[in-house]
C-alpha cells in the first residue's frame, strides 16, 4: 500500500517548503494540507524559531492563508498584525514567531484547494516578485506530487477489486501505470521520482495479487512466484516493457522515454533474454506473470 496520506503528504509539503526557502531567500516557510471540510492544518515548518504555528488549524477565509484558500489565489501582506485586508484570528501565533511580511499560496489540485504554503520575513518589507514566483513554483511541484499520489491510490484501489471479468478496467490500470512510469522520467526531484516508481511497483504487485486471488502469497525476493523463478529487470527495462504493453512502437517508446531507438531495442532484447522469451508480446505476458507489470 502507499504511505498513509498524512505521512506522504507531510514529506511532500516539507520538500516544497525547503524549495520555497531556497529559491525565494525567505528565512521562514510553513504550510500544510487540507485536514477537514473548510480547514487545513499547519504541519510543517522550516526556519521557525518557535513551535507557535505548528498544528494551527486554519479555516477557509480566516487570516492570510484562509483567504488564499477561499479565493484560490496568492495573497501577501507587508505587516501581518496591522493589515486591514485580512482577519486576525491567528495574530497571537504569528506574533509569537515574530513574523511581519507574509505571503500565502494555495495548493490547488483539479480545481480543489488541498493546502497552503507560506513564506515570511521578520521585518515589515515589501515582498517582491522573486518570493512570489518561488512560492508559486513550490506549490506547482507539490500539486504534481499530490496528483501522482491520488492516481496511485486510485489505481491500487482499482487493482484490489475483482476485475477478471472486466478487461476494460485492467486496460485502464495498465495504461495509467505506463503513463506514471513515463512521467517519472521527466520529474527533476529524485525523491518524487523514487516515490512514483515505488508506487508503480506496488501497483504491479497489487494487480498480480488481485488476479491470482488472496490464497496465493507473493514470492519473496529471490524465491518463486506461482512455481516460477522471480525475474529481476532493470528500471529502464520495465519502462520499455510498460510502453510496449500499451502498444507503442520502438520509435514511440524512444520519444516517450527520451532514448534512442537503438537503446530501446537493446533494453527490449535484454528484458526478453531475462524473461526467457523471444517476442515482444511474450515479454509483456511474462512480465505480467512475474508481477512486474499490471
pLDDT digits (tens, 9 = 90+) for 114-144: 999 999 999 999 999 999 999 999 999 999 8
What are the b/e assignments for 164-195, b being 16+ CB within 10 Å? eeeeeebebbbebbbbbbbbbbebebeebbeb
pTM: 0.68
Assign residue 219 the CATH number of its domain: 1.10.10.10
Q: Residue 261: pLDDT above 80?
A: yes
Residue 135 in domain: yes
Residue 147 in domain: no
Looking at 84, 110, 140, the residue that finishes a domain is 140
Residue 225 in domain: yes
Residue 174: the pLDDT is: 78
Question: Helices (DSSP H) in 72-166: which residue ranges?
Answer: 91-97, 129-159
Q: Which residue has the cell 518463486?
A: 224
Q: Residue 217: pLDDT above 60?
A: no
> When comparing pLDDT for 201 and 3, which is higher?
201
Q: Are residues 174 and 92 in the same domain?
A: no
Q: How confident is the model at residue 180 (pLDDT cuts 50, 70, 90)?
A: confident
Q: Looking at 51-65, 157-171, 179-193, 245-259, which range is the least confident one?
A: 157-171
Q: Are residues 201 and 235 in the same domain?
A: yes
Q: Are residues 57 and 88 in the same domain?
A: yes
Q: Looking at 18-32, 180-194, 244-258, which range is the least confident one?
A: 180-194
Provide the percentage of residues in the chain whose pLDDT is more than 90. Answer: 57
Q: Are residues 106 and 191 in the same domain?
A: no
Residue 215: the pLDDT is: 41
Assign residue 38 the CATH number of its domain: 3.30.450.40
CA distance 89 to 62: 7
Q: Which domain holds residue 220?
A: 160-289
Q: Residue 206: pLDDT above 70?
A: no
Residue 179 in domain: yes
Q: Are residues 10 and 136 in the same domain?
A: yes
Residue 107 in domain: yes
Q: Are residues 13 and 123 in the same domain?
A: yes
Residue 265 in domain: yes
Looking at 140, 170, 187, the residue that finishes a domain is 140
Count the domains in the chain. 2
Distance of CA 199 to the CA centre of its chain: 10
Tens of pLDDT, residue by residue over 5-33, are 444 567 889 999 999 999 999 999 999 99
Q: Are residues 43 and 75 in the same domain?
A: yes
Q: Are residues 18 and 87 in the same domain?
A: yes
Q: Are residues 172 and 257 in the same domain?
A: yes
Q: Are residues 187 and 230 in the same domain?
A: yes
What average pLDDT does the chain have?
84
Looking at 108, 140, 172, the residue that finishes a domain is 140
State mean pLDDT over 167-174: 70
Taking each helix axis from N to C end, the angle separating 129-159 and 167-184, rounded to the nearest 10 degrees, works out to 150
Q: Residue 97: pLDDT above 80?
A: yes
Amino acid at each position: 500500500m502507499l504511505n498513509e496520506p498524512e505521512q506522504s503528504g507531510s514529506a511532500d509539503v516539507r520538500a516544497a517548503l525547503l524549495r520555497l526557502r531556497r529559491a525565494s531567500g525567505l528565512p521562514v516557510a510553513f504550510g500544510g494540507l487540507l485536514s477537514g471540510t473548510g480547514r487545513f492544518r499547519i504541519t510543517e515548518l522550516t526556519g521557525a524559531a518557535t513551535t507557535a504555528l505548528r498544528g494551527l488549524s486554519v479555516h477557509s477565509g480566516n487570516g492570510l492563508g484562509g483567504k488564499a484558500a477561499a479565493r484560490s489565489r496568492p495573497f501577501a501582506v507587508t505587516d501581518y498584525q496591522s493589515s486591514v485586508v485580512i482577519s486576525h484570528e491567528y495574530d497571537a501565533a504569528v506574533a509569537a514567531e515574530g513574523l511581519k511580511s507574509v505571503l500565502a499560496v494555495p495548493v490547488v489540485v483539479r480545481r480543489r484547494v488541498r493546502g497552503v504554503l507560506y513564506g515570511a520575513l521578520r521585518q515589515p518589507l515589501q515582498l517582491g516578485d522573486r518570493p512570489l514566483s518561488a512560492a508559486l513554483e513550490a506549490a506547482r511541484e507539490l500539486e504534481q506530487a499530490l496528483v501522482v499520489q491520488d492516481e496511485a491510490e486510485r489505481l491500487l484501489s482499482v487493482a484490489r477489486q475483482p476485475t477478471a471479468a472486466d478487461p476494460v478496467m485492467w486496460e485502464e490500470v495498465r495504461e495509467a501505470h505506463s503513463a506514471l512510469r513515463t512521467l517519472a522520467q521527466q520529474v527533476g526531484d529524485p525523491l518524487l521520482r523514487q516515490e512514483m516508481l515505488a508506487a508503480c511497483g506496488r501497483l504491479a504487485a497489487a494487480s498480480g495479487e488481485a488476479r491470482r486471488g488472496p490464497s496465493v502469497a507473493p514470492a519473496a525476493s529471490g524465491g518463486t512466484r506461482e512455481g516460477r523463478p522471480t525475474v529481476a529487470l532493470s528500471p529502464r527495462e520495465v519502462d520499455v516493457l510498460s510502453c510496449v504493453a500499451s502498444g507503442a512502437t520502438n520509435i514511440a517508446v524512444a520519444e516517450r522515454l527520451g532514448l534512442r531507438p537503438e537503446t530501446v531495442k537493446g533494453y527490449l532484447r535484454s528484458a526478453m533474454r531475462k524473461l526467457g522469451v523471444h517476442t515482444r508480446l511474450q515479454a509483456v505476458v511474462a512480465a505480467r506473470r512475474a508481477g512486474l507489470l499490471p
